[in-house]
Structure 1
């Protein structure tokens, strides 16, 4: 069985490799970006099984399949919530929720081995999965946040939030009144809680509210700098690999 790992966080990739070795599954190679993966698939025999992260350092892993016709079976290693995971199930794709559990990993590999005789019939529609990830059916998004301020709780409606950002291992929201508040959550969790038509993750550190954008300026390396109504720091930059999707989101 030929197995590869595509994961942008090298410590996570090495950990998964060790876990697979513990259940007698040898990994042939580890890839860490969309660009590296496309180059590898162009010059190597495709594997039987891919352990695939969704968010890579230079874009979404779906971009690999938009360029290369890959028929390998996929086990996703992802931090997406139950709605996305349901989409994977409907398409007969296994998933492992990070942090990966040893028992879950062994069960997923056993599932794959059990369907080996039907391997050639596996058909994955990545565009449909991609749409479900972006617009999961019947999702209810956050309307407000409960913030602890001293001994009190303060409610902040979602339309009062200009942006969410991470700093010094903390996650904050910034309001239209010019106040920031520490949240008991992560940007990864917020990815599945925010209305995608209103909030966009421009880079690993920021979500911005479309209604709070007052200006956009060309920046170095084909990036964009965002100016918000009240948040006036300089590091609100759309990552280069997200610029096209950001422009599509605006329209």
Structure 2
């Protein structure tokens, strides 16, 4: 689940982020104004879910929808209840009044999961589905990445990558030679570039290569810990919401 928060008050955004972390929901991006949100939506793939404050520093967040066709589900977070009717005319899943209650937040997340719409790009016709089933390689998944190493350009074969991970706003590829390389793309941009038989996004921070998995260990809160052949810079945890799909992917 890709999630962003649009909130002009930094303490409120941080508090909501911490509450979501407790529910094993990671936040991929925090935006702070109508202008920043419009600019971001025009340049990036839209997330699955937005937590959206209504009154932002430069106007009402409804103005975002007037400018950009937002394709994400929305949970509104606001101190004002007079906008509820207007909110539910949009892609609204729920309307949470501040200060947000943890139990109400958990219910809103469950509501989203129960009513999650099928993304437009997954609504394939029969010919598309047949093509993918017969020859998935026709999708043209990425075979290599080019990275800068000093004044040089190095080519990394996708098959040599153990994992891809995000850290300090950067995206890195860790290879079987035991080195990390900074990439230009975000993890979100990798979604349609990596072969789904080989790579799986186990959390908001990590994609792993099935050929690099050395061990899988039961972890707390019904999660799993993954050990790769060479990567040991930080723990790789399969988030609880992805465990079921991860186990199915392994088979």
Q: 1:120: which partner in 2? A: none
1:233 deviates by 3.0
1:18 deviates by 3.2
1:205 aligns with 2:205: yes
Count of paired positions:
169
- Which deviations, in whole Å up to 9, do the C-alpha atoms of 1:214-233 show, x marking residues without a partner? 10011111110000000013
1:191 deviates by 1.3
SS of 2:196's partner is coil
Change (3 A) 1:59 1:141: farther
Change (3 A) 1:194 1:51: farther
Residue pair 1:223, 1:239 contacting (<8 A) in 2 also: yes
1:161 aligns with 2:161: yes
TM alignment of 1:72-221, pairs within 5 A:
85-87=120-122, 138-221=138-221
Residue pair 1:8, 1:31 contacting (<8 A) in 2 also: no
1:17 deviates by 3.0
1:145 deviates by 0.6
1:64 aligns with 2:114: yes
CA–CA distance in structure 2, aligned partners of residues 187 and 204 of structure 1: 8
Contiguous gaps of at least 5 residues in structure 1: 1-6, 24-29, 33-46, 67-73, 77-83, 92-127
CA–CA distance in structure 2, aligned partners of residues 223 and 229 of structure 1: 20
CA–CA distance in structure 1, aligned partners of residues 136 and 241 of structure 2: 23
**What's the TM-score once normalised by structure 2's chain length?**
0.55
1:50 aligns with 2:91: yes
Residue pair 2:75, 2:92 contacting (<8 A) in 1 also: no
Residue pair 1:166, 1:172 contacting (<8 A) in 2 also: yes
CA–CA distance in structure 2, aligned partners of residues 156 and 59 of structure 1: 38
1:9 aligns with 2:53: no
Residue pair 1:145, 1:155 contacting (<8 A) in 2 also: yes
SS of 2:178's partner is coil
- Which deviations, in whole Å up to 9, do the C-alpha atoms of 1:95-134 show, x marking residues without a partner? xxxxxxxxxxxxxxxxxxxxxxxxxxxxxxxxx99xx9xx
1:20 deviates by 5.5
Residue pair 1:218, 1:225 contacting (<8 A) in 2 also: yes
CA–CA distance in structure 1, aligned partners of residues 222 and 149 of structure 2: 40
1:152 deviates by 0.9
TM alignment of 1:10-49, pairs within 5 A:
10-11=6-7, 13-14=52-53, 17-19=61-63, 31=75, 49=90
Name whichever of 8-17 and 206-215 sits farther off.
Answer: 8-17
Change (3 A) 1:175 1:137: closer
CA–CA distance in structure 1, aligned partners of residues 193 and 162 of structure 2: 15
Change (3 A) 1:65 1:148: same
SS of 2:61's partner is helix
Change (3 A) 1:18 1:85: same
CA–CA distance in structure 2, aligned partners of residues 239 and 163 of structure 1: 16
Q: 1:241: which partner in 2? A: 241
